[in-house]
């Protein structure tokens, strides 16, 4: 037998004798009688499906997918030899309980051949992120990490923070763990390299240097305070510093300072001294400051209570660019190294990879993972599990953060579970709600109307499940909140009825749950679930409770809309703000009950307020984004009293639309050609609070 450990797969691949034996057994399958046929959903039935697929399986490297009866992908795996790997699934013994459940749910298999095992690993990570199979380790994180961008589409490049698609020409540096870390680094880099951070439109509108030039955080290329050749040198130094050449940049700057001092150019020497001090501040004010690690990502994993936390620290140019905790979905039977190996392949699928990765636990296929990440990154990547020295200290620091983060997460989950249970009792629900949807609308006199839906569950707010609805009905009276609520709920539940006609049924067994028996026998297992039971809000598309931000009118509109669609088993509750819109005095409206309030200090009341406020925040944010887009497209002419002449005057004075939006009434009145009435109209347009 060939020993080859692999995450989420049988411990051993099959040899030639196993393959020949399985192929002989598969040839006899059509002659079996109906009485001898395995029961649907049993381990034997899954093995039979896999045995039928063996004759089509390639011998070379590639990726295989295990498909359930409903066509959903259960598991994605890679192998050096696909045939040898899948034959191992048909053995009557030696499989873990989780793999037996996976085999029992398999109805067919699909294969994709690749040139090498490295290509198979990269394809596997890509497919896992796309298909999100229930039996794989899943990276559950919708966070888009921020980056620093130094542009290349302007004669005077700009330094700015960036998040999202990298469509703008330039050099991207990161990832950073938070926007705070990006802003801190940009502020320090501006002091050291004097690179501008203003927008291009602001740059073009300047006639005199801005405040950043006065406080020595910009060289002032907009008004010619520095020529383009010298400014390009500043930008080059900033790029070198962010690219990992920080030591060379500091040494060069120190030499220039010494030369200026010897030439009696004391002002230039003092400026270089200040820039050098700013660079030292970048590297010296970190919470943990490595001396021997220039560029690395540090990963530490901690498992407790069936949950997993992976803490990652980003170190670039000798700086700590922040840390972030992630909580992948993984079976509790998997070892930390197995989870970490699958996690890394997915994590770097859309992120730049450093030259060094430090881990708290060793991974079985380290060399293969190094080769795959090196291929993707375009440079050599080393993966190490340090045992001593400063690198081990970095790993231990990350591990401590992982323990603490998971502890907080478990405490929050327990608190959230209690709140959900109490919420169910307060609203008379038959069971604890697992998915709560909250709806709110936002508009200004009916313009740019947007409906928002937020989702919460045992894991807290499920932001990947949030949805916004641009109100499209042409026959709505502007400001008709009831009509907007009808449209939002009609669109939401009509789609829900089309895509998920009824709530998903969860796991059912015939009484012999293989999860409790790791002997690897032939127990029958029936899996009727179409999604894994993970406890998060996305496990079912149907809500257990719907909260409407509004009183009896909004509640009646919601009830009529759902009744029209034939949806009658979804609990609806209206949350009306108290007198004078005071928080803590909300009135609740529910069908079959008199209006009621909760006790002022009831934790459930605070919980509902959080849900309502989050829905309000999301709806207002969506409305403002839509309004800003419309303003950008239509210009300031949308404001009454602002024509082309006054628009030019405002833009010439402030530079950008964002600056006009932030301007005070006094500043607006000081613009040449803008009278007090127009200034008031502009100010009110940007500062009127949406409904």
Q: What is the pLDDT of residue 630?
A: 67
| Residue 68 token pair | 């359930």
State in words which class domain 16-131 has: alpha beta
Of 90, 9, 44, 65, nearest in space to 525 by CA: 44
DSSP 8-state assignment for residue 357: E
The pLDDT value given to residue 589: 92
pLDDT, position 264: 81
Distances from the Cα of 519 to the Cα of 4, 136, 306, 522, angstroms = 21, 22, 21, 9
Do the Cβ atoms of 61 and 79 come closer than 8 Å? Answer: yes
Contact 660, 685 (CB under 8 A): no
Whether the ω angle into residue 175 lies within 30 degrees of 0, i.e. cis, is yes
CATH code for the part of the protein at 436-503+537-616: 3.30.420.340
For residue 524, give both structure tokens: 């029958």
| Span 535-585, pLDDT tens digits | 343 347 899 999 998 888 889 999 999 999 988 889 999 998 866 555 667
Residue 513: its pLDDT value, please? 38
Q: For residue 651, which phi and psi values (nearest 5 degrees)? A: -65, -35
| Alpha-carbon distances of 239 from 137, 171, 173, 295, rounded to whole Å | 37, 8, 9, 15
For 678, what's the count of Cα atoms within 13 Å in the CB-facing half-sphere? 20
> What is the reported pLDDT for 39?
60
Sorted by where each begins, the domain ranges of the chain are 16-131, 147-284, 296-408, 436-503+537-616, 639-687
Alpha helices in 500-602 (DSSP H): 552-565
Using 70 as the pLDDT threshold, list the residues of the chain that sit under it: 1-41, 92, 141-143, 246-247, 278-291, 445-446, 474, 502-539, 578-584, 629-638, 655-656, 688-691
Residue 40 tokens read as: 């649907």
Quick one: DSSP state of residue 467? Answer: E
673 and 649 Cβ atoms separated by less than 8 Å: yes
DSSP codes of every residue in 427-464: TT-SS--S-EEEEEEEEETTEEEEEEEEEEETTEE-GG
What's the rounded Cα separation, in Å, for the pair 44 and 403?
41
| pLDDT (0 to 100) of residue 586 | 84
pLDDT confidence of residue 19:
53
pLDDT in tens, 181-221: 888 888 888 888 889 999 888 888 888 888 888 888 898 99
pLDDT score, position 70: 85
pLDDT computed for residue 635 by the predictor: 58
Instruction: Judge if 296-408 and 436-503+537-616 fold alike in CATH terms.
Output: yes
Residue linked to tokens 């009658």? 568
Q: Exposed, middle or buried by CB within 10 Å (0-12, 13-18, 19+), for 502?
A: exposed
* Confidence at residue 517, expressed as pLDDT on a 0 to 100 scale: 35
Cα distances from 585 to residues 398, 545, 591, 605, 679, in angstroms, run: 44, 21, 20, 9, 38
What is 98-141 written as a DSSP string? HHHHHHHT--EEEEEE-SSHHHHHHHHHHHHHHH--TTS-B---
pLDDT at site 263 = 79
Q: Which CATH number fits domain 296-408: 3.90.180, 3.30.420, 1.10.150, 3.40.190?
A: 3.30.420
639-687 to CATH, choices 3.60.15.10, 1.10.150.20, 1.20.950.20, 1.10.580.10: 1.10.150.20
* Spatial distance between the Cα atoms of 191 and 271, rounded to a whole number of angstroms: 10
| Tokens found for residue 323 | 């840390």
As a dihedral over the C-alpha atoms of residue 421, residue 423, residue 307, residue 64, rounded to 10 degrees, the angle is 100
Residue 175 is predicted with a pLDDT of 85
Q: 418-424 long-range contacts, Cβ below 8 Å, gap at least 24? A: 419/603, 419/604, 419/607, 420/457, 420/458, 422/603, 422/604, 423/545, 423/604, 423/607, 423/608, 424/545
pLDDT at residue 645, as a whole number: 78
Q: What is the pLDDT of residue 62?
A: 92
**What is the pLDDT at residue 298?**
94
| DSSP secondary structure letters along 133-174 | -TTS-B--------EEEEESSSSS--EEEE-S---SSEEEE-
């Amino acid at each position: 037998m060939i020993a080859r450990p692999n995450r989420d797969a049988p411990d051993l691949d099959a040899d030639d004798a196993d393959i020949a034996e399985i192929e002989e057994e598969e040839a006899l399958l059509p002659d079996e009688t109906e009485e001898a046929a395995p029961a649907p959903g049993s381990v034997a039935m899954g093995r039979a499906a896999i045995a039928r697929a063996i004759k089509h399986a390639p011998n070379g490297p590639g990726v295989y997918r295990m498909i359930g009866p409903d066509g959903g992908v259960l598991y994605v795996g890679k192998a050096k030899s696909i045939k040898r790997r899948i034959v191992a699934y048909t053995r009557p013994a030696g499989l873990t309980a989780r793999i037996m459940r996976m085999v029992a749910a398999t109805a067919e298999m699909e294969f994709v051949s690749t040139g090498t095992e490295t290509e198979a690993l990269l394809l596997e990570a890509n497919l896992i992120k796309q298909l999100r199979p229930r039996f794989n380790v899943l990276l559950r994180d919708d966070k888009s990490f921020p980056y620093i961008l130094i542009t290349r589409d302007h004669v005077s490049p700009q330094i700015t923070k960036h998040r999202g698609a990298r469509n703008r020409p330039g050099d991207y540096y990161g990832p950073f763990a938070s926007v705070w870390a990006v802003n801190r680094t940009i502020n320090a880099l501006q002091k050291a390299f004097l690179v501008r951070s203003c927008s291009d439109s602001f740059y073009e509108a300047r006639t005199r240097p801005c405040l950043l030039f006065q406080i020595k955080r910009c060289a002032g290329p907009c008004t010619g305070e520095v020529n383009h050749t010298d400014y390009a040198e500043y930008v080059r130094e900033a790029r070198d510093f962010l690219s990992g050449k920080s030591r060379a940049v500091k040494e060069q700057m120190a030499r220039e300072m010494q030369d200026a001092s010897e030439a009696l150019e004391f002002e230039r020497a003092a400026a270089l001294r200040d820039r050098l001090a700013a660079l030292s501040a970048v590297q010296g004010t970190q919470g943990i400051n490595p001396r021997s690690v220039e560029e690395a990502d540090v990963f530490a994993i901690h498992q407790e209570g069936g949950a997993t936390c992976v803490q990652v620290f980003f170190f670039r140019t000798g700086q700590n660019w922040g840390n972030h905790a992630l909580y992948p979905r993984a079976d509790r039977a998997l070892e930390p190294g197995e989870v970490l190996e699958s996690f890394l392949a997915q994590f770097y699928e859309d992120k730049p990879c450093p030259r060094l990765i430090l881990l708290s636990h060793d991974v079985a296929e380290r060399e293969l993972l190094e080769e795959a990440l090196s291929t993707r990154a375009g440079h050599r990547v080393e993966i190490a599990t340090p045992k001593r020295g400063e690198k081990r200290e970095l790993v231990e620091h990350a591990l401590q953060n992982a323990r603490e983060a998971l502890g907080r997460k478990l405490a929050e989950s327990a608190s959230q579970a209690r709140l959900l249970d109490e919420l169910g009792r307060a609203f008379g629900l038959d069971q604890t709600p697992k998915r709560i949807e909250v709806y709110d609308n936002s508009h200004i006199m009916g313009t740019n109307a947007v409906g928002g839906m937020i989702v919460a569950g045992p894991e807290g707010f499920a932001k990947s499940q949030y949805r916004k609805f641009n109100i499209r009905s042409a026959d709505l009276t502007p400001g008709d909140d009831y009509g907007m609520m009808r449209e939002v709920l009609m669109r939401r539940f009509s789609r829900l009825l089309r895509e998920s006609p009824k709530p998903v049924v969860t796991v059912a067994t015939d009484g012999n749950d293989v999860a409790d028996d790791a002997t690897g026998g032939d127990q029958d297992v029936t899996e009727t679930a179409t999604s894994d039971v993970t406890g998060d809000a996305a496990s079912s598309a149907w809500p257990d409770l719907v909260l409407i931000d509004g009183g009896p009118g909004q509640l009646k509109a919601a009830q009529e809309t759902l009744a029209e669609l034939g949806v009658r088993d979804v609990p609806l509750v209206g949350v009306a703000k108290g007198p004078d819109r005071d928080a803590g005095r909300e009135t609740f409206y529910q069908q079959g009950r008199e209006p009621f309030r909760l006790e002022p200090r009831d934790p459930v009341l605070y919980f509902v307020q959080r849900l309502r406020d989050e829905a309000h925040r999301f709806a207002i944010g969506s409305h403002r984004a839509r309004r800003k887009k419309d303003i950008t497209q239509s210009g300031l002419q949308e404001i009454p009293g602002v024509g082309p002449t006054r628009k030019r005057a405002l833009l010439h004075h402030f530079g950008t639309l964002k600056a006009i939006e932030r301007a005070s009434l006094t500043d607006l009145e000081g613009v040449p050609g803008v009278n007090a009435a127009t200034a008031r109209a502009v100010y009110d347009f940007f500062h009127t609070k949406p409904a």
